[in-house]
Homo-oligomer: A and B are copies of this chain.
Amino acid sequence: MTPRSAPDRLLAVLAAFDHGHPALSLTDISRRAGLTLTTAHRLVGALTDWGALERDEDGVYHVGLRLWELAALAPRALALRQIALPYLEDLYEATHENVQLAVRDGCEVVYIEWISGRSAVGVHIRVGARWPLHATGVGLALLAHGEPALQDAYCERPLASFTPHTITDPARLRRVLAEVRRTGVAVSTRQITDDALSVAAPVHGPGGAVPAAVSVVVPERDAQVPALIPAVRLAARGISRALGWQPAREA
Q: Please report A residues at the B interface, Cβ cutoff 8 Å.
A: 5-8, 10-11, 14-15, 17-19, 22-23, 42-43, 46-47, 50-52, 54, 62-65, 67-79, 82, 85-86, 89, 92-93, 103, 105, 110, 112, 115-118, 126-128, 130
Contact = CB atoms under 8 A, between A and B. Distances in A.
B78 A74 contact: no
Given A11-B46, A43-B7, A74 B63 contact: yes
Most B CB atoms within 10 A — which of A10, A51, A115, A117? Answer: A10
**CB-CB nearest 3 A-B residue pairs:** A72-B128, A6-B6, A71-B71
Given A7-B46, A89-B115, A74 B82 contact: no
B7 A47 contact: yes
A73 B8 contact: no
Given A6-B10, A73-B17, A77-B65, A85 B116 contact: yes
Contacts of A93: 93
Most B CB atoms within 10 A — which of A46, A71, A82, A130? Answer: A71
A126 B46 contact: no
B117 A46 contact: no
Given A65-B103, A76-B65, A110-B69, A82 B126 contact: yes
Given A6-B10, A17-B70, A116-B85, A62 B50 contact: no
